[in-house]
Amino acid sequence: MSEANLYTTQLQAGLGLIDETKTLLELWAPGMDVSRLLQAALHSGSFPTVAARRLRNIIAECFAPRYLVNHGAPAEHLKHLLPHLSSMELQQLFLLYTARANAILADFIRQVYWVRYAGGHVEVSNEDARRFVESAIDHGRMAKRWSESTVRHVSGYLSGCCADYGMLEHGTKSSRRILPFRIAPRVVMYLAYEIHFAGVGDNAMLGHEDWELFGLNRFDVLDEIKRLALKGMLIVQAAGDAVQINWKFQNMETACNVLTEI
């Protein structure tokens, strides 16, 4: 198993960090690395109650792996969209990048959250998360076997992160209520275009694993894409299993500009 697919405890550095992420996106400028962003954050006065060491951990272990990958493209796009998207839309995009950076969260959402959601369950418990983590250990998903306390803490991080992103209720209860959760139309457009510009073909785009974070299979995605077509965001032709999409925008920057206007 490649190192990129191993599960880590990185979520302990910070869960959803919704407000912190918004502030850091406002402070970030293209070309800023962790060190320069830390200095900007320290001098901004935007984190008066956060110790410098803690702030560095948030930036280096949470913000950078999520948003400064691919030469900072996620941060650049989200900074542009920040004033124009609703809190729910931003939460969903933050979820996307957090799950990409933390394989354990992505698989928990796919294999536990959405399975329980589809099965008509009303809650996800700490015990559900614990069983998931213990199964992952048994299947060799960690570089080394985790201690009992690490298993307990990471199990809580998983459900806490889902709560931060609006999938589960907040609180400290051993079971959290599953909240209604549906991908927003503008998030559909963002993700479809981002996957496309990553070089993924049209048919493969429909089955891309990122859609599963939002509970969508390829048929659900095709329905969402057809709704985008009705709004003039692209042109889609589907016949049987063959799908061809004519993408209206030539790069992600243009797509983001359009998202700010709809």
What number does CATH give the domain 1-181?
1.10.3540.10
Q: Where are the domains of the chain?
A: 1-181, 185-259
Q: State what percent of residues in the chain have pLDDT above 90.
A: 93
Q: What is the H or E stretch that residue 166 is in? A: none
Mean pLDDT of 6-25: 96
At residue 134, the pLDDT reads: 96
Query: Which runs of consecutive H residues, i.e. helices, occur in the chain?
Result: 18-27, 34-44, 52-57, 64-67, 73-81, 87-101, 103-108, 114-118, 126-138, 148-164, 185-197, 202-206, 218-230, 252-259
Q: What is the pLDDT of residue 124?
A: 95
For the cut 70, the answer to whether the pLDDT of residue 208 exceeds it is: yes
Q: How high is the pLDDT of residue 174?
A: 83
Q: What is the pLDDT of residue 240?
A: 78
Q: What is the mean pLDDT of the chain?
A: 95
Q: Which DSSP string do the residues of 101-155 spell out, in sequence order?
A: H-HHHHHHIIIIIHHHHHTT--EEEHHHHHHHHHHHHHTT-BSSPPPHHHHHHHH
Tell me the per-residue pLDDT of 133-188, one tens digit each, with 9 for 90 and over. Answer: 999 999 999 999 999 999 999 999 999 999 999 999 997 778 899 999 999 999 99
Q: What is the pLDDT of residue 3?
A: 63
Q: How far is CA 75 from CA 21, 130, 140, 145, 228, in A?
A: 10, 32, 33, 34, 24
